[in-house]
Amino acid sequence: MPSNNSQLPESVLFVEEGLELSQTTLEEAEELFSVVEANRDYLREWLPWLDGTNSVEDEVSFIRGVLEEYHRGDGVHYAIRMNGELVGSMGLNWIDRGNRGCGVGYWLSEEHTGQGIATRSCVRLMEHCFDDLGLHRFVLEAATDNFASRAIAERLGMRLEGITKDREWLYDHYVDSALYAITAPEWQSQDQD
């Protein structure tokens, strides 16, 4: 099993024909902002960062930040592309090298939900984290009432480890969070079933 913990995540992950995760670049700021802007009301239900993303310049600043995280080995941010079209984003919001763990976050444009895109993208990212990066634990957190994201975690065979009270401030109220996780041996045993 590869265990080069200092290795950075790949810049492009091919999920399947027509679906890929590609590391977000500064050149994509306008396109990314356009998708966020078109889905602002939809995304606002569960994502707390929309009030700070009001212009292409805000998106540029965000991308600069995630590129710095990437170069430090602390995370990576991908554009989810379906047949070349940017339909959302997915990333490792944190990488804990010492404990060989990571946490995923993602969003899709409303018109691309319900098609299994996030689930298939998570599968590919998990494979990369476990097989290529030598990570041991993969975490997904979702608001307790975000049933779509919780269903993804459950489809992936992740175990619910607990509910965190008032985990995140969402504009004008706190939301509780469901914490799901899976370890590399658990993931690999699923492949053999």
CATH of the domain at 91: 3.40.630.30
Is residue 55 domain-resident? yes
| pLDDT, average across residues 70-81 | 96
- What is the token pair recorded at 161? 């480890």
Q: What percent of the chain has pLDDT over 70?
A: 95
In the chain, where do the E strands start and end? 12-16, 19-23, 76-82, 85-96, 101-108, 137-143, 159-169, 174-183
pLDDT reported for residue 3: 40
What digits encode the pLDDT tens for the residues 16-50?
Answer: 999 999 999 999 999 999 999 999 999 999 999 99
What digits encode the pLDDT tens for the residues 94-122?
Answer: 999 999 999 999 999 999 999 999 999 99
How does residue 168 score in pLDDT terms, banded at 50, 70 and 90? very high
pLDDT reported for residue 61: 97
How does residue 193 score in pLDDT terms, banded at 50, 70 and 90? low
How does residue 1 score in pLDDT terms, banded at 50, 70 and 90? very low
Q: Which domain holds residue 22?
A: 12-192
Is residue 5 domain-resident? no
Is residue 3 domain-resident? no
Q: Is 191 a residue whose pLDDT tops 90?
A: no
Q: Is 8 a residue whose pLDDT tops 90?
A: no
97-111 burial code (b ≥16 CB/10 A, e <16): eeebbbbbbbbbbee
Q: Is 79 a residue whose pLDDT tops 60?
A: yes
Is residue 2 domain-resident? no
Is residue 4 domain-resident? no
pLDDT reported for residue 47: 95
Is residue 150 domain-resident? yes
* Mean pLDDT, the chain, whole residue set: 94
Is residue 1 domain-resident? no
Residues whose CB is less than 8 angstroms from the CB of residue 97 and which lie 6 or more positions away in sequence, other chains included: 5, 6, 73
Interatomic CA distance for residues 56 and 29, integer angstroms: 6
Taking the CA atoms of 63, 69, 72 and 75 in sequence, report the sign of the dihedral they define. negative
Domains of the chain: total: 1
pLDDT reported for residue 7: 79
